[in-house]
Amino acid sequence: MARRYYHPFNGNRYIGNTNTNEVHDLENEKTSCRINEIKHDHIVNFNPDTHAQAKREGFDNCAYCIGNSKY
């Protein structure tokens, strides 16, 4: 499992799930992330494509691929 080069992932490393408000790192994706179960309407990209940007936008870390989840 890794980056996906199609919409709405667009090859980005970090993707946000607006339903759970969590950010995932696709370079370290785990089965428990259940990326393929996220509705595409709930997926957002970050610009720039960095973890810092996801945090600036208020996303919480995924406990599986990033760790240090607040919830």
Residues that bind Zn ion (CB under 5 A): 24, 33, 62, 64-65
14-17 and 22-25 as β-strands: parallel, antiparallel, unpaired? antiparallel
Least Å distance, CB 62 to Zn ion, is: 3
Per the CB < 8 A criterion, the answer to whether 22 and 50 are in contact is no
Least Å distance, CB 31 to Zn ion, is: 10
Q: Which is closer to Zn ion, CB of 43 or CB of 65?
A: 65
Least Å distance, CB 63 to Zn ion, is: 8
DSSP 50-66: SHHHHHHTTPEEPTTTT
